[in-house]
Structure 1
Amino acid sequence: MGKLDRGLRLVAAALLLWVAFGSTFAATGLLNWLAIAVAAIFTITALLGNCPLYRIVGLKTCQDC
């Protein structure tokens, strides 16, 4: 996973956590839990630098790999 991809995932995760906890948009219910789950997945994959879905579909965002 490339650096830009990792950075964008962390930004998206932060925005999703803000939606889940800092706004009233997804205050309760399924949308709230979905935002938290996706943020967790984005954070983990960004920190590990590996996305299992990319391997399945054959996508590479790292030019040095």
Structure 2
Amino acid sequence: MITNMGKFDRGGRLAIAAVLLFLALGTGVLGSGLLFWLALVVAGVFTLTSFVGNCPLYSIIGLKTCRDC
């Protein structure tokens, strides 16, 4: 897989994933319904894409946030 995400983008995704996980699991703000599961799925996708360094949506639209790729 070709990297298409820069360090700032990857770090931002990890931060957003951490906040979503905290809201879903650490507080009762999202309840236990659709918002809870949506937050978990988005946090999982953001974590996975930040570790891999490739965002499939970026590939589709031709966006790259890294300087050296």
**What TM-score results when the alignment is normalised by the length of structure 1?**
0.97
Greater RCO structure (CA 8 Å; 6+ sep) = 2
Query: In the alignment, what sits opposite 2:42?
Result: 38
Determine if contact 1:21/1:27 at 8 Å carries over to the other structure.
no
Take 1:13 and 1:35, find their aligned partners in 2: how far apart are those partners?
8
**What TM-score results when the alignment is normalised by the length of structure 2?**
0.91
Letter in 1 for 2:41: A
Aligned length: 65
Query: In the alignment, what sits opposite 1:18?
Result: 22
Query: In the alignment, what sits opposite 1:58?
Result: 62
User: Structure 1: any 5+ residue segments left out of the alignment?
Assistant: none
* Aligned-pair Cα RMSD in Å: 0.5
User: Structure 2: any 5+ residue segments left out of the alignment?
Assistant: none
Q: Structure 1 residue runs of 4+, over 3 Å off?
A: none
Task: Indicate the structure with greater helix content.
Answer: 1
